[in-house]
Amino acid sequence: MLLKFQTDDVMNAPEHHRRLARLEDLEFANSFAGLPEAFYTRLAPHGLPAPYLVGASSEVAELIGLDSDEIGRPEFCEIFAGNSLPPGSDALAAVYSGHQFGVWAGQLGDGRAHLLGGLRNASGDWEIQLKGAGRTPYSRGADGRAVLRSSIREFLCSEAMAGLGIPTTRALAVVGADLPVRREEIESAAVVARVAPSFVRFGSFEHWAAHGRGDELRLLADYVITTFRPECRDAANPYAALLADVSRRTGELIAHWMAVGFMHGVMNTDNMSILGLTLDYGPFGFMEAFDAGHICNHSDHQGRYTYRNQPHVAQWNLYCLAEALRPLTGDREMVQAVVDDNFGPAFEAHFERLMCAKLGLREALAGDETLIGETFGLLQQQRPDFTLFFRTLSHLPAAVDREKQGKTDDPLCDLFFDRAACDSWLAGWRARLAQTPWDDTARRAAMRAANPKYVLRNWLAEGAIRKAQEGDFSEVGRLLECLRHPFAEQPEFEQYAALPPDWASGLEVSCSS
């Protein structure tokens, strides 16, 4: 059943005229549940006692067709804590397998997630999944719970990435409860309501390939193609077309991560979306003092998921997907070629395009790769704050009088311990701008639209978490409001654009984060 609205022609109505639903009008369908039962286990979520709202995104509420005024109702917490199921919900936990840290881990699955079902409206198809809603058959001995700390991080980062224009799962809400959960210490439980067109992963295909279940493999591929990528159906080999599509989308996704300094932290194949979305926020981080070898995940002892390794790991993961799809697509060399022909070109083209925008280059020239390489060489040598470097650069003029140069360039040079190195790079940058000149006011505005002022730094998330652990959720809301508009100046949030305070130097995130 589809989401009910008050008007008959809502699917064709302009967005600002579309009527939004009340909670009791939400009726879910679950297309994934149309697959055979081998793909999942039907079970209701295990709710939270006396749940309370920690944070909610009115933007996501309206995206799924829900009136944002409904967020304030007690029933909202009851539904999205897993205490009551909305009409039509066919709750389930999906099975999948995967490679973790480059090693085959065998069967995994939704160990603490329950898919409530999906809603369809003029904005698209949206599945809603509750993360932290208790044990499932795939919990592997764990408690199936999420803690407040990690739930706030996922909620805020999902919405921060959407604000940055990066393909991502979204987050409707975090619901908490005074239910103790044991991690390194006793923490309180929470549930994140995650939203995406689909939560199918690379590991969903690996699972059936590893068990030699060709029929199920084909069923899953057909489901993804029919539901999300119908254009692949007309290809000579629809399954190779699907692999090409996800390779291209993944290449563009990783390029976007790299361009904003985002590090996922745990790029296992079970954490890679078949739709090319950023999926499963755990030990993520945004680059501060630049280091291409930075490891944001304290659990990553071998440094597999460093910033610089992300393109390589993504391609390796795609090879795993290609191998899983091989019974449907062809020989090993052919499917690897599909990955190589789509991932690399997509990554390189998108990354160069994003970097040219960040550097304020009006038109691409043949030598721009050299400037981009020199830029990252300077960052690696000098270790300025990544976000502040590009945002500050966005304010500098294309030409400056020699007498005024020091004062004009001070805000950027102050980020470097070797100011002469910064001066030298700026001279080359300005010389490149002069090759494709354009109105300086327009250029600076374009650069500010490509270089965020605000990202979810770990110390910002930590500040919101500490207040929330004391029962004050106001900082979660303030950060959410700021991160919705990361490219705007927002002087009321100026403190969120600052360098990390001294106390933040010891912050660590791990796979339990």
pLDDT of residue 91: 94
Give this prediction's pTM: 0.94
Q: Among 338, 353, 337, 360, which residue's Cα sits nearest to residue 445?
A: 360
What does the DSSP 8-state code read for residue 489?
A: -
| Cβ burial, residue 330 (10 Å; 0-12/13-18/19+) | middle
Lookup: tokens for 210: 């590893």
pLDDT of residue 63: 94
Q: Which of 270, 280, 385, 409 is catalytic?
A: 270
Q: Is 36 helix (H, G, I), strand (E, B) or coil?
A: coil
Residue 145 CA to residue 181 CA, distance in Å, equals 7
Please say whether the beta carbons of 221 and 242 come within 8 A.
yes
Please say whether the beta carbons of 394 and 360 come within 8 A.
yes
Sign of the alpha-carbon dihedral angle for 390, 394, 398, 400: negative
Per-residue pLDDT of the chain (513 residues; tens, 9 = 90+): 222 222 233 333 334 445 799 999 988 888 999 999 999 999 999 999 999 999 999 999 999 999 999 999 999 999 999 999 988 898 999 999 999 999 999 999 999 999 999 998 888 889 999 999 999 999 999 999 999 999 999 999 999 999 999 999 999 999 999 999 998 899 999 999 999 999 999 999 999 999 999 999 999 999 999 999 999 999 999 999 999 999 999 999 999 999 999 999 999 999 999 999 999 999 999 999 999 999 998 888 889 999 999 999 999 999 999 999 999 998 889 999 999 999 999 999 999 999 999 999 999 999 999 999 999 999 999 999 999 999 999 999 999 988 778 789 999 999 999 999 999 999 999 999 999 999 999 999 999 999 999 999 999 999 999 999 999 999 999 999 999 999 999 999 999 999 888 777 666 676 654
pLDDT of residue 6: 27
pLDDT of residue 402: 83
- The reply to whether 300 belongs to the active site is no
pLDDT of residue 184: 85
Q: Among 421, 427, 483, which residue's Cα sits nearest to residue 152?
A: 483
Report the DSSP beta bridge partners of residue 121: 124
pLDDT of residue 512: 57
How do the domains of the chain map onto residue ranges?
10-199, 232-357, 381-450, 458-506
Sign of the alpha-carbon dihedral angle for 466, 150, 485, 175: negative
pLDDT of residue 301: 87
What does the DSSP 8-state code read for residue 387?
A: H
List of residues 6+ apart from 263 with CB closer than 8 A: 257, 284, 285, 286, 287, 294, 296, 305, 306, 307, 310
**The residue to which tokens 């409001």 are assigned:** 481
